[in-house]
Amino acid sequence: MTYETILTHHDGAVTLITLNRPQALNALNTTVLEELIAAFAEFERDDGQRCAVLTGSGEKAFAAGADIKEMADKPTAAFYGEDFFAGWTSRLVKAVRKPWIAAVNGFALGGGCEVAMMADFIIASDNAQFGQPEIKLGVAPGMGGSQRLTRAVGKAKAMEMCLTGRMMDAAEAERAGLVSRVVPLAELMDDAMATARTVAGMPPLAAMMSKEMVDMAFETTLDQGLLAERRMFQVLTATEDKAEGMAAFVEKRPGQWKGR
């Protein structure tokens, strides 16, 4: 499928999705959201695709936020009536059960930071900058900045970022736990794609359940989470991939996964 604001590419079992509005620092508008939803739905449906990477085109930005020019004259009734941007959480976070990684190259601001945080984890380039500058526009984070950022980096940093608009550089983001790793910009895509290939090479049901369980840690009590984790583990023991994985270990060979 061809899109206007994003690019998609298959590299084996990895889907690479690139936000492609470099002239607007990959700002997220309604078309981007619709196209990302379609691209992620295609990724989710395709049994041959096991992990996705989302990045931004150019070397300057992953995404500099929601498109301010699109929002500037939009009436409140339309923001509320359309439930503006609700689709990010329902269609990109909840509907995508396969793992995906954000490869953040440069600015990830406002909605850009929020979309990166929707990924299962973030790999950042050394020039990455994260921020929630919405307050400078007279608004506040609307797609998870106050919630996911706080869970990721704690109250002090999240509050300071939301109240001052201060950006966090890649080194601080790694120290604070917002990103899993920082790599030189020139190596970002090779690293992110190699990591995605590693994830794609894992038994798919175990990968999906791992994702579900880690996400559940943010939604439930420790006792309920531990119980759910134990049940998921027990369910996985019924899969052919479990039999194969343990046999492969004993026989000192790589496992061949069937996803069942």
The residues carrying an active-site annotation are 66, 111, 114, 134
Among 17, 19, 119, 143, binds ligand CO8 (CB under 6 A): 143
Nearest to ligand CO8 of 65, 245 (CB atom): 65
Distances (CA, A) of 257 to 53, 93, 233: 21, 25, 17
How many other C-beta atoms are found inside a 10 Å radius of the C-beta of residue 246?
12
The reply to whether 68 sits near ligand CO8 by the rule CB under 6 A is: yes
Bridge partner list, 109? 131
Residue 56 contacts ligand CO8 per CB under 6 A: no
Decide whether 2 or 76 has the Cβ nearer to ligand CO8: 76
Residues 89-108 that bind ligand CO8 (CB under 6 A): 107
H or E element at residue 117: helix 111-118
133 interacts with ligand CO8 by CB under 6 A: yes
Q: d(Cα 75, Cα 59) in Å, to the nearest integer?
A: 34
Q: What is the footprint of ligand CO8 within residues 218-247 (CB under 6 A)?
A: none
* DSSP 3-state of 203: coil
The answer to whether 51 and 199 are in contact (CB under 8 A) is: yes
Q: Report, in Å, the least distance between residue 88 CB and ligand CO8.
A: 8
DSSP per residue, 65-104: SB-HHHHTT--HHHHHHTTTTTHIIIIIIIS--S-EEEEE
Based on the shown chain and the rule CB under 6 A, indicate whether residue 109 belongs to the binding site for ligand CO8. yes
The least CB distance from residue 128 to ligand CO8, in Å, is: 12
The CA-atom distances, in angstroms, between 165 and each of 84, 94, 255 are 22, 28, 48
Closest separation in Å from C-beta 54 to ligand CO8 = 16
What is the tally of helices (H) and strands (E) in the chain?
12, 10
- Is residue 122 a contact point for ligand CO8 (CB under 6 A)? no
Residue 118 in the binding site for ligand CO8 (CB under 6 A): no
Residues 31-50: x/- map of binding to ligand CO8 (CB under 6 A)? --------------------
Q: Please give the Cα distance from 258 to 260 (Å, whole number).
A: 5
Binding segment (CB under 6 A) for ligand CO8, from list 32-40, 137-145, 205-213, 217-225: 137-145
Task: Examine residue 85 and tell whether it contacts ligand CO8 (CB under 6 A).
Answer: yes
Pull the structure tokens for residue 109: 């601001």
Of 54, 66, 108, 115, the residue at the interface with ligand CO8 (CB under 6 A) is 66
Among 14, 19, 25, 123, the residue binding ligand CO8 under the rule CB under 6 A is 25
Does residue 205 contact residue 260 with C-beta atoms inside 8 Å?
A: yes
Residues that bind ligand CO8 (CB under 6 A): 24-25, 27, 64-69, 84-85, 107, 109-111, 133-134, 137, 142-143
